[in-house]
Amino acid sequence: MPEPKKQVLVINAGSSSIKFTLFDMANERVVLDGQIERITLPGWKLDYVLEGRKVSTQGPDTLAHRQALEKVFERLGSEGGPVTGPEDLFAVGHRVVHGGERFSEPVLINEAVKEAIRDLFPLAPLHNPPNYEGIRGCEELLPGVPMVAVFDTAFHFTVRKRAFLYAIPYELYEKDGIRRYGFHGTSHRYVALEAARLLERENDPTFKLITCHLGNGCSMAAIRGGRVADTSMGLTPLEGLVMGTRCGDIDPAIIFHLIREKNMTPEQIEEMLNKRSGLFGLAGIGSGDLREILPAADSGNELAQYAIHVYVYRLKKYIGAYTAELQGLDALVFTAGVGENCPRIRAGACEGLEQLGIEIDWERNQANAAVISPDGAEVTVLVIPTNEELMIARDTLKTVGKEGRGAEA
C-alpha cells in the first residue's frame, strides 16, 4: 500500500487576492507557490511557480472567492500538476487574522469554529470575512480534506492584562472585547523559534528577545522564554509602529479634530489612517515603499528624510520600552521585507542603543548576515527571514495529527 501523501496546502485569502503555497511536508519542500489577484475586480491574474517553472494566466471576468479558488485548483491539477483531487492533499491550513480571546492555538475547522470566525468580523472587518470565504470555498471544492485555522493573534495570547487592557471603561473589554490582541503572530513565532535554535536557547525560560517584523505592515513583540510579554499592534493592525501606509500610534483626539474641523466622516478617517498615512503620508512622494523613499531622501527630499527619521525613532522607542519590560535582552531579531533587506533601517534603529548592549557590525549588516552584531556583543542582533507559510503548514500537520485526520475540533 503506498505511503499517504503529506502535501499541505496553505491558503491566505485576502479581500482582493488569494496567496497559496503547497508543501511536501515529508521534507518541508515548497512544491508550488503563487497568488491570484484582482478578486472581485474585472480582470483577474494568476501567477505561480511550480518546481522552478513560472506560470501566468489571466482572464477578463470578475471572480468571487470561490471562483478564484476554482481557478487555482484547475492550475494545481493541470499538466500533471501535484493536486488532481482531494486525495492528493493531507490537509489545508488557512491563515485567519483574528482569533479574539477564544483561540490560543491552531484548530481543526468545524461549524463551531466557522461561527466563531464570523462572530469576530466586527473586530477584523477587512480580514476575517475573506479568510472565512477562503475556508468555505476550500471546503466545497475539497470535500473530506481536513481544514485548519491558524490565527495571527494566537501567539500573543500570553500577553497579560496589564499590557493588553486600554484605559477606557472596563465594560468595553468585558462586553465588547476591546483590548490589545496583536498580529503577525505566525511570523513572530517563527523567527522566535529560529532565534532560539540558532543561539541554542530552545526551551530556555530565561531567553529574552525582541522580534521586529518590518514589512508594509510593521509590528514588534517582547518575548520571554517563548511567551509574548507585549506586542505593538492593538485591537487592529493599525496601532504601534509607523508602517507603509498605516499611521501607528497617534493621539486619538486627532480623529475628533478631523471630524469637527475638516468635516471628515469616520469612514474617510479610517481610510486615511490605514491607506494614506505612515511612510506614504509623511514622505509625500506617492509611495510608502522604503525602496523609493530612501533614494528620494538621498536626493534631498526633506519630507522623505523626515519620514525615515520618524520611522526609525518609533522603532527605537519600542526597543527601549520592550528591553525595560523584559528586564534585559539576549537577542534582537529583524525580519520581513524591510527587516531582512534594509541595512540602513536596522542600523538606524540600533544607533545609540549601546548602553542597552545593542551594537551593529557594519560589514555584517551591509551583507544582511544572519548575525549582524559584533563578536562578544551583549545582545545578539539577528536577521532571520520569516516563513509564515511554513509555520502554518507545520501547525496544520501537527493539529491534524493530534486530532486525527478528518476529526472535528
Domains along the chain with CATH numbers: 7-151 (3.30.420.40), 202-388 (3.30.420.40)
pLDDT tens figures, 307-366: 999 999 999 999 999 999 999 999 999 999 999 999 999 999 999 999 999 999 999 999
Instruction: Give the burial class of 38: count Cβ atoms within 10 A of its Cβ; 0-12 exposed, 13-18 middle, 19 or more buried.
Output: middle
User: For residue 81, is pLDDT > 80?
Assistant: no
d(CA 48, CA 37): 11
Which pLDDT belongs to residue 51? Answer: 74
Q: Which grid cell sits at 74? A: 484547475
Which pLDDT belongs to residue 204? Answer: 96
Phi, psi of 163 (to 5 degrees): -95, -25
pLDDT tens figures, 37-69: 888 888 888 888 887 788 888 888 888 888 889
Active site residues: 152
* 31 CB neighbour count, 10 Å cutoff: 18
d(CA 218, CA 339): 9
Computed over every residue of the chain, the mean pLDDT equals: 93
pLDDT band at 403 (very low <50, low <70, confident <90, very high): low
Provide the b/e sequence for 341-354 (b: ≥16 CB within 10 Å): bbbbbbebbbeebe
pLDDT tens figures, 138-174: 999 999 999 999 999 999 999 999 999 999 999 999 9
* 224 CB neighbour count, 10 Å cutoff: 20
Amino acid at 98: H
Which pLDDT belongs to residue 80? Answer: 65
